[in-house]
Amino acid sequence: MDDWSFWVRLAYAAGILVVARYLSHWVRGLAAQGLDRTDLDPLVRRTLTLAVRPLILLVGLSAAVHVLNLSAISNAIAAALGGATIAIGLGLKGYLSDAAAGALLLTVRPFQAGDAVVLGGKASGQIREVGFFMTVLDSYDGNTYFVPNGEVASALIENISRRGTRRVLLVYPVNPDLDLDAAREALLNVVRADGRALAEPAPAVELVEVTPDWVSVRLAVWSKNEHHGALTASAREEGLKALRQLGIYPPKRPPGTTPGATPSAVA
C-alpha cells in the first residue's frame, strides 16, 4: 500500500509540475497584456512580465515537493548541501548585487527604453531593456552592449534625450584670413533654413581655435531628439558648401591632417 501511495503521490507531483509549466506561459501572456494597458515604463513592464513565469514554476515545485512529502529527505540532505550553498552564494554575490542594482534602476528610473545615454563615459547608445542582471544598450554603430547592472548603477549616467532636445556641435577648420562675421552669417543661414533646427536655444557660431595655419569655428544648434542625426548630417554638408562659396574652405593643411578635412561633429 505504501508503494502504491508513493506512486500516486509521484503522479500528482508530476501533474502539478506540468500544469505549472503551461500555467506559467498563460499567466505571463495575461500579465503582458494587462501591463501594456498601464502607464508603467516599458522597462518595468518587461521586467515584471519576465518575473511571472519563474515565480509560478517555483510555486509549482514547492507544491510538488509537499505532495511527495519529501520534508524528511530534504532535511537530511540540507546539512550536506550547507557548505555547497555557502560556496554558491559567494559565487553568485556579483549576480545578486547586479539584481539589486537592476531593482534600483527600475525604481529611480534614470532612463527609459529608447533613451540615448552614455554609461560611465564609455558605452553610448539607446537603452533597449534592463534585465535582472544586465542593461542592454544598442550602440549607434550597430553593436549591442550587455552592461552589468552594478556597473550601470555605480557609474555616471548621461541621459542625452531626457529633455527631449539635443545639441548639434560641428567644428569647421577654415583659412586663417577668414571673415568671421561672413562665416558666422553663412552658417547661421544654413540652420535657419532647416526646419529641424530649433529657434530656442538660439544657434550660435564662435571661434574656438586660432593657429598660424588655420582657424576653427564651431556651430552649435539644437534640435529635437528624433531630428538630431539628420540635422547633423545636413548642417555638416550645407555648412561646408556655404563656406566654400565664401572661398575660405578648405583651409591650408593643418599639421597631422589631410587636405580638405571635413567638419567634425563633437557632440
Instruction: Give the model confidence (pLDDT) of 173-227 as tens digits.
Output: 888 777 888 888 889 998 888 888 888 888 988 888 877 777 888 999 998 888 8
**Is the separation of the CB atoms in 101 and 119 below 8 Å?**
no
Task: Check: pTM over 0.85? Answer yes or no.
Answer: no
**Is the separation of the CB atoms in 162 and 111 below 8 Å?**
yes
Band of residue 88 on the pLDDT scale cut at 50, 70, 90: very low
Per-residue pLDDT, 77: 41
Judge whether residue 170 has pLDDT over 50.
yes
Instruction: Give the model confidence (pLDDT) of 37-83 as tens digits.
Output: 766 667 667 777 777 787 787 777 777 777 776 655 445 444 544 55
Per-residue pLDDT, 83: 54
Instruction: Give the model confidence (pLDDT) of 224-239 as tens digits.
Output: 888 888 888 888 888 8
**What's the burial of 13, exposed, middle or buried (CB within 10 Å: 0-12/13-18/19+)?**
buried
Backbone φ and ψ for 83, nearest 5 degrees, come out as -65, -40
Kindly state the average pLDDT of the residues 154-161. Answer: 86
Per-residue pLDDT, 260: 46
Per-residue pLDDT, 31: 80
Instruction: Give the residue, 240 or 87, on which the prediction is more confident.
Output: 240
Query: According to CATH, what is the number of the domain 165-265?
Result: 3.30.70.100
Judge whether residue 263 has pLDDT over 80.
no
Per-residue pLDDT, 81: 45
Per-residue pLDDT, 43: 65
Per-residue pLDDT, 243: 86
pLDDT above 90 coverage of the chain, percent: 1
d(CA 183, CA 178): 7
- The matching CATH number, chosen from 2.40.30.40, 2.30.30.60, 3.40.630.30, 3.40.50.20, for 110-159 is 2.30.30.60
Per-residue pLDDT, 39: 66
Instruction: Give the residue, 146 or 47, on which the prediction is more confident.
Output: 146
Kindly list the domain boundaries of the chain, sorted by start residue: 2-91, 110-159, 165-265
Per-residue pLDDT, 41: 62
Q: What is the mean pLDDT of the chain?
A: 77
Band of residue 164 on the pLDDT scale cut at 50, 70, 90: confident
